[in-house]
Amino acid sequence: MRLWRQGEGDRSAREAQILGWLFVVPAVAVVGALILYPLVTGFKQSIRSGGFLFGEKPGYVGLRNYRDVIHDPTSQSAMRHTVEYVLVAVSLEILLGIAVAVTLHRVFRGRGFVLAVLILPWALPSVVSGVLWRRVFDPDNGMLNSVLLQLHVISQPHVWLASGRGAIIYITLVHVWGVLPLISLIFLAGLQSIPEEVYSASAVDGAGPWRQFRYVTLPLLRPSVAIALTVGTLLAISIFDEIYVLNGTALNTRSILIQVYNTTFVTADFAHGTALAFLLAAVTAAFGAIYALALRRATV
């Protein structure tokens, strides 16, 4: 009887496993087809010549397209701009995110309303945010110029997105405005996971608010910092909507993703466009792997 029951149990386990595979395999096949097929097709395009549009005979060119986009001055400028976007955006998001989370971690009147208002920029699509901020930076009748003129800070309307470094800063601030709520919520969740007993014990040992923040809060927030860095960096690397809505494909603010769009769809150079897209994907994957490793070490 015992052997019979054991056999029945093994058969039930095998049937459950087979049933699970029957449910999983179609989904895996669909996802694989939607992801792997475009990847393989895109990579094949990136190692072929531009084609008849450029007077070339289509054929295999190896890594020439990758070398071309790496040495292209316009692509190099877009790479530098993207690095600037990432550095400024991630720095502001981490610093401001921790400050906002520490403020909202305290219970006060109207805290729920403040949280609702905080989430609003994140809930808006980035295109909508770009349109709203374009009205702010408009050189003719924008709100920023109007306010500064009335305050006599400037004597004539200023074209805010005409300069190089300044335009990148302004667009980055728009990007941070949309991403900061998410980063703040990540830190707020991390703060709420810290036991109050830790603060009570540190207070007994004579630690003040600043020492508690430095030696208790920040070390225990390392997993949240790793997650925030991952999210902020990946979103900053892929910045597109804010730049395109505010300044189009202008060279002074062009990011890598804008360069991919311009190369692929504006100039119809699909070979170099896909090569640049694969380079961007490789860099993004590298950052993701680094942050995943950092998160794993932070949680061990």
Q: Say how far apart CA 253 and CA 27 lie, in whole Å.
A: 40
Domain coverage including residue 204 = 68-299
Q: Interior CA angle at 176 toward 222 and 219, to 5°?
A: 10
pLDDT digits (tens, 9 = 90+) for 255-270: 999 999 999 888 888 8
Residue 48: pLDDT over 50:
yes
Short-list 179, 1, 208, CA closest to 96 = 179
Go through the chain and tell me how many residues it has: 300
What total number of domains does the chain contain? 2
Q: Is residue 163 part of a domain?
A: yes
Q: Is residue 241 part of a domain?
A: yes
More confident residue, 289 or 12: 289
How many of the other CB atoms lie within 10 Å of CB of 121? 19
CA distances (Å), origin 177, targets 139, 165, 167, 184? 21, 18, 15, 11
More confident residue, 279 or 165: 279
Q: For 56-72, what is the mean pLDDT?
A: 83
Tell me the two tokens of residue 1.
């009887």
Q: What is the pTM of this model?
A: 0.83
Q: Is residue 192 part of a domain?
A: yes
* Co-location of 203 and 260 in the same domain: yes
Q: How confident is the model at residue 4 (pLDDT cuts 50, 70, 90)?
A: very low
> Phi, psi (5° rounding) for residue 146?
-65, -45
Q: How confident is the model at residue 174 (pLDDT cuts 50, 70, 90)?
A: very high
Short-list 51, 79, 80, CA closest to 65 = 51
pLDDT digits (tens, 9 = 90+) for 132-157: 898 888 888 888 888 888 888 888 88
CATH of the domain at 287: 1.10.3720.10
Highest mean pLDDT range out of 9-23, 102-116, 180-194?
A: 180-194
